[in-house]
Amino acid sequence: MKKLILLLILPVMVAVYANAQTNQAAPVNPNAPVAKWDKMVNDFGDITLNIPKTAEFTLTNAGKEPLIISSAKASCGCTNLKYASEPILPGKSAVVSATYNAASQGVFTKTVTVITNADPNPIVLQIKGNVLPKQ
């Protein structure tokens, strides 16, 4: 009887232990780069038709290893991007600039998706405003 109970409990204990091992968080690298943005949204307010406007988002590496921007993509072809291709050293900053062409009248909201080695999730920056006709 004791052997039967042991044989029934043992697989349950092994399953519980295995599940606990797989649910443990991966160790955090204390030296990893840390991305700190000066802002996440740039509101241009009212701008004039066909006069491009540029927003600058400053990214500072608050970590201990170089921060790398692996990609940055705008949500449409109406926004041109510039960003650092070189690693951002600890304590240093770089700028991601987004220039909106203002070719269409009306309210707009566009996004810039930035992928770095500081976070497994992409960061989404936003530019918005209202394009008015030329006067």
Could you give all domains of the chain from N- to C-terminal order, each with its CATH number? 35-132 (2.60.40.10)
- d(Cα 103, Cα 50) in Å, to the nearest integer? 5
> By the 8 A CB rule, do 116 and 66 touch?
no
Q: How much is the average pLDDT of 117-125?
A: 96
The position carrying tokens 């987004």 is: 98
Q: Residue 61: its pLDDT value, please?
A: 98
pLDDT, tens digit, 9 for 90 and up, residues 41-81: 999 999 999 999 999 999 999 999 999 999 999 999 999 99
Helix then strand then coil, % of the chain, to nearest 5: 15, 45, 40
Q: How much is the average pLDDT of 11-29?
A: 56
Q: Kindly tell me if the per-residue pLDDT of 16 is higher than 60.
A: no
- Direct distance between the N- and C-terminal alpha carbons of the chain, in angstroms, rounded to an integer: 93
Percent of the chain's residues with pLDDT above 90 = 76
What is the pLDDT of the chain when averaged over all its residues? 88
pLDDT, tens digit, 9 for 90 and up, residues 30-49: 899 999 999 999 999 999 99
Exposure pattern of 25-47 as b/e (b: 16+ CB <10 Å)? Answer: eeeeeeeebbbeeeeeebebeeb
CA distances (Å), origin 124, targets 3, 21, 110: 58, 33, 10
Q: Residue 22: its pLDDT value, please?
A: 47
16 versus 48: which is more confidently predicted?
Answer: 48
